[in-house]
Structure 1
Amino acid sequence: MSKADKPEATAQAEQTSKNPNEEIITLDQPIKRGETEITSITLRKPVSGELRGTSLMDLAHMDVIALRKVLPRISQPTLTDIEVGNLDPADLMQCGVAVASFLLTKKAREGSLEA
């Protein structure tokens, strides 16, 4: 294996080992929580009960109100509604894309990765 092949092999290994039910979001603007600074959050695929009070279409359209309901339920560390409301728009967009992708079937997600 040449040096040029190593980064490609590493990227392929990361893709195959990545949990499709989780997405790690690196925040452009960290969240300050007391003395702690949160620089990344992990979102996990929600179960149906965690979607209560929202519309799947609203989540698919990345509606801010729907995201404010769901993100605290699926984030690690757990974000508060106020923290979600104070997210930088670029960070909220990243979270919205992750949540919307969780709504796709496995086949649709694989097809979107190939495109």
Structure 2
Amino acid sequence: MTKKSEDLAAATNSAVKSSFEHEFKVPLPYGPDKTLEKVTIRRPMGGDLRGVKLAMLQEIDAGVLFALLPRITTPLITEAHVQKIDPIDAVTIMVGINDFFSA
């Protein structure tokens, strides 16, 4: 590998975002007396995408959230929590996840 291609590879890898933090516009109910104000969403790995059609991800298909969010969030969001996410938050999260795949 030449110096130029090593520099390009390093720049590409450093430009890849590994996670983002989402602050809910509408706090997410998270237990009997608690709400979740924000969540960290990490870049999905290959196994996280199991059963997820990338075309549906790019189309911002809400069904993808049910499969993907429980696998890539901290603190953990279950499918039951995903059902309670406000639509504006769902769209914002999907756009953020799509950004992981743009070059």
For the criterion TM > 0.5, the same-fold answer is yes
Alpha-carbon separation, structure 2, partners of 1:60 and 1:103: 9
Task: Please provide the CA RMSD for this pair.
Answer: 1.3
Q: CA deviation at 1:103?
A: 1.4
The aligned runs of 1:1-115 (5 Å cut-off) are 20-33=17-30, 34-105=32-103
Q: CA deviation at 1:35?
A: 2.1
How many residue pairs get aligned? The number is 87
Share of identical aligned residues, percent?
28
4+ residue segments displaced more than 6 Å: none
Q: CA deviation at 1:62?
A: 1.3
Alpha-carbon separation, structure 2, partners of 1:55 and 1:66: 8
**Equivalent position of 1:112 in the other structure:** none
Matched letter for residue 84 of structure 2: N
CA contact (8 A) 1:25 1:42 kept: yes
Compare the two structures and name the one with the higher helix fraction. 1
Q: TM-score, normalised by structure 1?
A: 0.71
Q: CA deviation at 1:98?
A: 0.9
CA contact (8 A) 2:57 2:98 kept: yes
**5+ unaligned residues in a row in structure 1: which ranges?**
1-18, 106-115
